[in-house]
Amino acid sequence: MATDLNPDSIPTAQPIADVPLAGVEYEQAMEEEYELPERRFGFLRAAPAWLVSMMLHVLILLVLGLVTIADPIKIVNVLTASATSEEGPEIEEFTIEDIDPGEVAEMQEMTDPIAELTEPMEMTEPIEVAPVAMSAVVMDMADFAAEMAPSMTSLQSLASMTSQPLGSRSEDMRKKLLRDYGGSESSEAAVTEALKWFSRHQMPNGGWTFAHNLVCNGACGNPGDAPRARAVSGATAMALLPFMGAGQTHIQGDFKEVVGAGLRFLVQSGKPGNAGGLPVLDLRSGGDMYSHGLAAIALCEAYAMTEDPQLFGPAQGAINFIVAAQCRDGGWRYRPQEARGGDTSVVGWQVMALKSGYMGHLSIPPATIQGSVMFLDRVQSNNGSMYGYDKPSTKIRSGTTAIGLLCRMYTGWDKTHPGITEGVQNLLKFGVKKDDLYFNYYAAQVLRHYGGPEWDKYNVELRDWLVSSQAQNSGAKGSWYIKSKVHGMEEGGRLMQTAFATMILEVYYRHMPLYADAAAEDDFPL
C-alpha cells in the first residue's frame, strides 16, 4: 500500500568515506606507494610522475571494468493461508475497544483544529472537517472526483447510475415492502416509539452515548459500561441508523433536526488525515474499527438517501479509511492493518459500509472487495455455509455464520449457491435467539433476502416477540433491554439493544430484496 512519507523524517545520507581530490599531494602519495625497483623497471623511474600516475589510473579503471555486479535478487512476499482443524474462539461480544489513534504510521493525522458548530459547511477541500449545514444544494459529484476518488477503476464506474439508492425507504415503497415481506402496523408503531426514545436521549451536542442515563437523569436504567460510554461515534451511529432506516433524513421527515444534529456531531468527531495520497476521515473516536464501520454506514446512507454534496467528502473519507485499514489477509480487526489479520465480526460492519458507499456511488476499489472475499474464503467451511471467527470452524457458530452469509450475499453469491442454501438451514436451527439481538439482526437480513417459507416462519416469531417485549413504562417507553451474556449486549446497554431491535423491525424496507426480480441494489462487481 502506498504511503505518504514526511521528508523531514528521512535521514540525511552520510558519505561512505572521504575521498581526496586529485592533485599534487595525491600524485606524490601514489608515487611513494608504488615505488618500484630501480633495475627491473628503470624506465618507470625515468618516466615523469604524471605518466606513472596516469598509467596506474588506467590500470585501476581496467580492473574495475572487469568487475560485474549481479542483478539484484527480488524478494517476493507470498501470503499463504491454510485451514486447520483447530477451532478459533467463538465471538463472545460485540466489543468496542479503546485504541491509540496514532498507532498507524501510514495514516497521518492533520493537526488543524476542528471548527465549532456555528457555520455551515463549505466543501472547498476534501474532508475539511467543518460544520455541516445539511442543506440540499445541488452539486455535481464529479467536481470532487479528481481529488477524492482512487486512481484505480472503481465500482462506481460499474454501477448502474439510474437506480435510486435506498429507494426502498421512500414512503410509498416502504408501505409496499412492509406489506409484502411481513411487517405490521404494530411493528411500525414500535419503530416510531423507538425513534421517539432516541430523540429524547440525544445529547445537547447532537451525539449519543451508550451511557444514556446521563441524558435522561436515570429515568431509564441499564446503561452501557464505561468502555462503551467512551465510544461516542459508535453510539451516535447506532442511534442514527434506525432514523434513516425509517426514511428520516436531515432534509425531510419528522425527526430531521435530530438527524441533522447527529450527522453534524458525527462529522465533527472524525479526525481528518491522509493515507496513500487519499484524504481519510477516522471515525473511531473513543472506539475502534467497530465504531468506524458503524459511523461510515451512517454517513454513506445519509449521503445515498439525499445526495447532499456536503456529505460527499466525509462519506468518501470514511470509505477511504476503511480501504487503508484493511489487513493483509483481506479482513479488518479492531485496529487498522493488524498483523494478525481480520475477524469476521469486524469484517461484517466494514463490508456493510462499503455496500452503503457503493449504493451512494462513492469510489470503492474492486481490490478492497476482492480482499474481503479472500478473507471469507479463509474462514469458511462446509461449502461456505459456516463461518468462524478468524479461521474455519467445525461447528456452527451463530453470530459469525450469519455475518459471513450476509457478506456473501452482498459480494455476489446467488440464492442457489450451496453455501447460501445450506447456510440458511444452519441459521434456522438456531431460530429466534431471545438472548441475542446481535445474531437476530444479521440472521433476519439473511433470511429476509432469501425469502420463502423460511423467512415467513422466522419473521412472525421474531416480529411479534420484539413488539411484545418493547418497554412501555414512561421513562424507558419505546426502548428494549433484554438480559444477555453474549455479543456484548449487556455491556452495550439499553441504547445498543434498542438500536438492534429497531433495525430488525425495519428489515422489511431497509434494503431492496437482493434476489427479487426488480432488485435495485446490485451486488458488488468484482
CATH number at residue 260: 1.50.10.20
Give me the residues paired with residue 450 across strands. none
Assigned domain for 118 exists: no
Residue 106: its pLDDT value, please? 53
Mean pLDDT over each residue of the chain, to the nearest integer: 78
Summarize pLDDT for 245-302 with one digit per residue, the tens. Answer: 999 999 999 999 999 999 999 999 999 999 989 999 999 999 999 999 999 999 999 9
**What pLDDT does 228 receive?**
84
> Tens digit of pLDDT for each residue in 136-168?
322 233 333 334 333 333 333 333 333 345 666
* Assigned domain for 105 exists: no
What SS3 string covers 109-175?
A: ECCCCCCCCCCCCCCCCCCCCCCCCCCCCCCCCHHHHHHHCCCCCCHHHHCCCCCCCCHHHCHHHHH
**Residues of the domain holding 500:** 138-505
Q: Distance between CA atoms of 191 and 208, rounded to whole angstroms? A: 18
pLDDT at 139: 28
pLDDT category, 323, cuts 50, 70, 90? very high
Cell of 290: 467497530
Q: Which residues of 332-363 are buried (b: 16+ CB within 10 A; e: fewer)?
A: bbbbbbbeebbbbbbbbbbbbbbbbbbbbbbb
Q: What is the mean pLDDT of residues 296-310?
A: 97
- Report if residue 404 sits inside a domain: yes
Residue 437 domain flag: yes
| Amino acid present at 36 | L
> Could you tell me if residue 174 is inside a domain?
yes
Q: What is the pLDDT at residue 278?
A: 93
Residue 51 lies in a domain: no
Select from 513, 442, 523 the least CA-distant residue to 168: 513
pLDDT greater at residue 513 or residue 23: 513
15 part of a folded domain: no
Indicate whether 61 belongs to any domain: no
Q: What is the mean pLDDT of residues 163-179?
A: 76
Query: For 373-402, what is the mean pLDDT?
Result: 97
Domain count, the chain: 1
CA dist., res. 483 & res. 444, Å (int): 20
- The pLDDT of residue 487: 82
Of 110-124, 181-195, 212-226, the range with the lowest mean pLDDT is 110-124
Query: Which residues are CB-contacts of 300 (< 8 A; sequence separation ≥ 6)?
Result: 315, 318, 319, 353, 356, 357, 359, 360, 362
DSSP assigned state of 414: -
Confidence of residue 57 (pLDDT cuts 50, 70, 90): confident
- Least confident span in 51-55, 70-74, 143-147, 425-429: 143-147
β-pair partners for 93:
487
In contact, 197 and 497? CB cutoff 8 Å:
no
Q: Is 99 exposed, middle or buried (0-12, 13-18, 19+ CB in 10 A)?
A: buried
